[in-house]
A and B are shown apart, each in its own frame.
Chain A
Amino acid sequence: MATAKARTTSAEVQGLSGQLPEAVLSRVSDKLGIPAGRLSRMVEVLEQVVQEKGDTDSIVEKYKADKSALIQILLEIQRERRWLPKEVLTSVCEKLGVPLSRAYRIATFYKAFSLVPQGRHLVTVCMGTACHIRGSPRLLDKVVKVVNVNPGETSADQKFTLETVNCLGCCALGPVIVVDGEYHSNPSSNELEGLVAACD
């Protein structure tokens, strides 16, 4: 039910932003004392928020609002958005009837989750044992230099997030780096620069 309702609202807002005559927009902006550009941006954001809420609702519905699926739900949201915004966590917890603290506990306990927005491109360097003895610390140093981000951080322009993991199970190929889901075995400095340059 909740999903249907959210979708309706979203459709209504979409109707608004698409069709709002400029005259109306300027009258509203006059009345509220808000510049027209800012107002239309507000409508846009509103639309986006409602849309996102609808998406979250559908994920919760998919798991039949089952409390024990909290981790699975958060994993899906993380995958879609690349982070877990506070509003989303609040709304998921309300729906499942679990305290918000549980969601935060999960989000901070597991490596897969992020409470800050992640970059558009995810660079992961494997620090597993096999990769370690074949030189992953040196590979990581090189990667840090090339993407100019420290491990666990996201670049200011939101382009790259650099992560380390403890084993990807590709030990035979180590040291391994994954760029947006593509695995690469022990790239040289030049190859590394190529990989990074290929990201828009």
Chain B
Amino acid sequence: MAKLRSPADLEKKREQIVSKRDPSKPCITICSGTGCHALGSDKLHEAIVTEISKNGLRRKVDVRRTGCHGFCERGPVVVIFPDETCYLGMKPADASEVISKTFVEKQLVERLLYKDGSGASVALEGEIPFYKHQTRTVFGNNRLIDPKSIDDYLAVGGYSALAKALLQMSPEQVLEQVKRANLRGRGGGGFPAGVKWETTRNAPGDTKYVIVNADEGDPGAFMDRSLLEGNPHVVLEGLIIGAYAIGSHEGFVYVRQEYPLAVSNLTAALGQARDYGLLGKNILGSGFDFDVTIHRGAGAFVSGESSALMTAIEGMVGEPRPKYVRTAVSGIWERPSNLNNVETWANVPLIINRGADWFTGVGTAGSKGTKIFALVGKVNNTGLVEVPMGMSLRDIIYKIGGGIRSGRRFKAVQTGGPSGGCLPESLLDLHVDFDELTGAGSMMGSGGMIVMDEDTCMVDIARYFTNFLADESCGKCIPCRAGIEQMLEVLERICAGKGEKGDIDLLEEISDVVRDASLCALGQTAPNPVMSTIRYFRDEYVAHIEQKRCPARVCKALVSYFIDPVKCSACGICLRNCPADAISGGKNLVHIIDQQKCIKCNTCFEICPTRFSAVLRISGEPVPAAPPLGTEVARKKGKQE
């Protein structure tokens, strides 16, 4: 491959690629993100290729493995172009039917289509409610390209923004566009990227660094993984443009080793970009030199913090330092270093190509553009969704997410990961942007959005996050190390039914100290899950402490299991599956749980057939007396009569 030495070369190459492709030629795309991979997209791909060969269609149909489409739960997602027919949850065994129906009989495979609430089928991907209400500007190309093919990225206009920036714009003009677009950091804080870039650009020193933060440590967020896995070149293109504006010639991508596919796709992308002359010396003949190194994180939440991440790149333990001097001025090896998150970088090529005015045309007064959220938890349609800033929580959860699973009731939505908070039903009409979420006591974070229903205990959620943070605290500063530990102790006590009067006040007091006195943002925001659940779900704390009752029946110590003698039909399923042998009973005899032996594993509750629903979870009240051993079941008796 000859290097592209000018924008003209790039355009010529692009024309070459596009001219070889016939847009009307059918192409089967199979999502190969981690989610679909887990659901068997590898085997599905093999099966589809085999079927195509069998039907003699090898020259007539293309097959492409693409990046993540976002609708992970219903994977593997298959879209057949040019019609854009979308099949969900397709299995290798379906391949033969799909190929013959699509290409021989020209028919749809009804059973693999999305079914809406009324049971009607939706054939086109864009018409599925999950996608219909989204605005996929950053994430949209994922479904079109093979992440391992730079040609695919070029075919959809890739690297045109880079050519424009390097050859038609001065670094100042690039910077001005990003500043005017008011692109705010998508990783958590929402700090304006342009302002940060300018700080690094103006900081003294010849050597400057630009860094991609792909240490997506927030549990419940995976948009950065999907972008880096599904479209690594867009992140890279943004990074090179940023480096040009800042005056940096060396970049890093810090990516978690928990994301092996992202590492491998990115590694491939860097190699291809070098081969094409889009990385290295004299990029596209502009005289600008730039290259990138990948640094894998080894599993520490705190390493996503800017100063910690930079220390890790230096080869030392990734702990934060006090930031009297910002990392934008003194970062890696005390040189000016600009760090932005994956999604932030991915927005840059769009801003350069379409202009700041286009970008600011979307969103709210203070938050421009779109944001990708990981909509997960107890919602019907889970996956990655990209929406304009300012969409209401209700629209995201109900229109896109399709509402709460199994007809349960919405209780809360958690945003912003461990630094964020839980928002109640009364805030469902909140318009999601950086400032609104912060105002409500939560935060944008990297965009995790975890929906909880009435079966979720908010005290348990606070305990869960606090446990996570206690585990992940690097231990460098005392308020975070000791404070979070103390909070955890109190929360565990409450969940164990040993809560005491005054515990809520105590939690609030410790929270204040941790928030005010911790060294880095992770410690300062650590009390958010506790503070927000106390603020909006105080009654649940009170129920745990005063009535020893867990309203959601989650906290083991406060829940008992009981078999309703009237409903039990002695089917024996719970008895056979009880791991503690705590259930006694026999043929036609009411089954009884021995409360002393019960380990509260929930197995009997889950396994009791819904037509009986005989196992009850009880909290805050005494367990009813069990009938004497040997009592016959009511149903059987009825039949005999």
Q: Chain A residues in contact with chain B, CB under 8 A? A: 66-72, 74-75, 98, 102, 105-106, 109-113, 127-134, 138, 141, 145, 165-174, 176, 182-185, 189
In the complex, the 3 A-B pairs of residues with the closest C-beta atoms, listed nearest first: A183-B38, A111-B299, A169-B222
CB-nearest residue of chain B relative to A184?
Answer: B38
Contacts A72-B295, A129-B448 given; indicate if A171 touches B414 (C-beta within 8 A).
no
**Most chain B CB inside 10 Å of its own CB: which residue of A70, A75, A169:** A169
CA distance A167 to B300 in the complex (A): 11
CB pairs A–B below 8 angstroms (17 shown): A70-B315, A70-B316, A71-B295, A71-B296, A75-B257, A105-B317, A129-B414, A132-B461, A133-B456, A134-B377, A138-B602, A166-B471, A167-B217, A167-B218, A171-B221, A172-B383, A189-B577
Contacting residues, chain A, for B301 (C-beta < 8 A): 166
Chain A CB within 8 A of B609 CB: no
How distant is the Cα of A130 from the Cα of B330 in the complex, in angstroms?
Answer: 37
Please measure, in the bound complex, the distance between the C-alpha atom of A68 and the C-alpha atom of B296, giving whole angstroms.
Answer: 12
* Residues of chain B having any CB pair with chain A under 8 Å: 34-35, 37-39, 72-73, 75, 216-222, 225-226, 257-259, 295-301, 312-319, 374, 376-378, 382-383, 414, 417, 448, 450, 452, 456, 461, 464-465, 468, 471-472, 474, 577, 579, 601-602
Query: Do B450 and A169 have beta carbons less than 8 Å apart?
Result: no
Given A68-B313, A169-B216, A171-B220, answer yes or no on A75-B296 (Cβ-Cβ < 8 Å): yes
- Known contacts A145-B579, A167-B217, A173-B73; is-contact A67 B315 (Cβ 8 Å): yes
Neighbouring A residues of B316 by C-beta, 8 Å: 70, 102, 106
A165 and B258 contacting across the interface, CB-CB below 8 Å: yes
Q: Choose from B298, B300, B417 the contact partner of A75 (Cβ within 8 Å).
A: B298
Contacts of B382 in A (CB 8 A): 130, 171-172
A182 to chain B minimum Cβ distance, whole angstroms, is: 8
Contacts of B374 in A (CB 8 A): 130, 171
CA distance A98 to B316 in the complex (A): 10
**Residue numbers in A under 8 Å from B456 (CB-CB):** 133
Contact present for A183 and B37 (CB under 8 Å): yes
Beyond the given A130-B376, A133-B450, please list 19 additional residue pairs across the A-B interface where CB-CB is below 8 A: A66-B315, A68-B313, A74-B298, A109-B300, A109-B319, A132-B461, A133-B456, A138-B601, A166-B472, A167-B219, A169-B258, A170-B34, A170-B222, A171-B221, A172-B35, A172-B75, A173-B39, A176-B38, A185-B39
A72 B296 Cβ-Cβ under 8 A: yes
CB atoms of B450 and A130 under 8 A apart: yes
Contact A69 B315 (CB under 8 A): yes
Bound-complex Cα distance A113 to B296 (A): 13
Min C-beta distance of A194 to chain B, whole Å: 16
Docked complex Cα distance between A82 and B484 (Å)? 32
* Distance, CA A106 to CA B318, complexed state (A): 9
Residues of A within 8 A of B474 (CB): 109
State A135–B383 Cα separation when bound (angstroms). Answer: 18
Residues of B within 8 A of A72 (CB): 295-296
Question: CB-nearest residue of chain B relative to A138?
Answer: B602
Contact partners of B377 in chain A: CB under 8 A: 129-130, 133-134, 171
Give the complex CA separation of A44 and B316 in angstroms.
36
- B579 contacts which chain A residues (CB < 8 A)? 145
* In contact, B38 and A141 (Cβ under 8 angstroms): no
Q: Which residues of A contact B218 (CB under 8 A)?
A: 167
Residues in B neighbouring A170, C-beta threshold 8 A: 34-35, 38, 72, 222
